[in-house]
């Protein structure tokens, strides 16, 4: 079995250790708004002319953001429960807020513009960006966990 912070486990997003519905939600929900944003950029806006996830306050944007932030809360709660450490739970939440919420909301459109005009290429590129952000989250959480463990000993 791979350790929590192994390179292989990080690159596979810990999928080997996902055993229940809650763990699947921990992985997917924080990026729920980014999946909506990605589909909006590559399909809903250009093809259907529907702005599913506008970058202004609307009820549909609020819905996707609440679902995503609920996923962040779930990650914080599960990490705190699993480790017994509020600091580790808070750090995981901050990483998800930064990498799954702030950075993609600010830059996803700009990043996707580098993938050309083809919507399918943009879609694949967007999934790659989300995957990369998830790897960043996992890496920083592992680094923090290892730092905390070194400080205890």
| DSSP-derived secondary structure letter, 15 | G
- Whether pTM > 0.85 for this model: the answer is yes
Is residue 51 within 8 A of residue 44, CB to CB? The reply is yes
pLDDT digits (tens, 9 = 90+) for 51-79: 888 878 889 889 999 999 999 999 999 99
Query: For residues 28, 29, 34 and 40, what is the CA-based torsion angle, rounded to 10 degrees?
Result: 100
Q: Give the angle subtended at the CA of 50 by the CAs of 44 and 54, to the nearest 5°.
A: 90
Mean of all residue pLDDT scores within the chain: 89
pLDDT on residue 153: 66
Nearest alpha-carbon partner for 53 in 68, 39, 74, 72: 39
For residue 16, the model assigns a pLDDT of: 81
Q: pLDDT tens per residue, the chain (153 residues)?
A: 446 788 888 888 888 878 889 889 999 999 999 999 889 888 888 888 988 888 788 898 899 999 999 999 999 999 999 999 999 999 999 999 999 999 998 898 899 999 998 888 999 999 999 999 999 999 999 999 988 877 776
Break the chain into its structural domains and give their ranges. 21-152
């Amino acid at each position: 079995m791979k350790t929590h912070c192994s390179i292989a486990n990080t690159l596979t997003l810990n999928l080997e250790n996902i055993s229940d519905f809650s763990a699947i939600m921990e992985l997917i929900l924080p990026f729920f708004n980014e999946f909506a944003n990605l589909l909006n950029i590559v399909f809903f806006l250009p093809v259907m002319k529907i702005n599913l996830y506008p970058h202004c306050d609307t009820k549909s944007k609020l819905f996707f953001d609440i679902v995503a932030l609920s996923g962040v809360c779930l990650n914080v709660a599960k990490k705190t429960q699993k480790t017994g450490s509020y600091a580790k739970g808070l750090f995981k939440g901050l990483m998800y807020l930064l990498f799954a919420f702030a950075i993609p909301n600010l830059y996803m459109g700009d990043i996707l513009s580098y993938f050309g005009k083809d919507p399918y290429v943009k879609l694949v590129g967007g999934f790659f960006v989300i995957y990369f952000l998830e790897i960043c989250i996992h890496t920083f959480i592992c680094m923090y966990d290892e730092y905390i463990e070194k400080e205890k000993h």
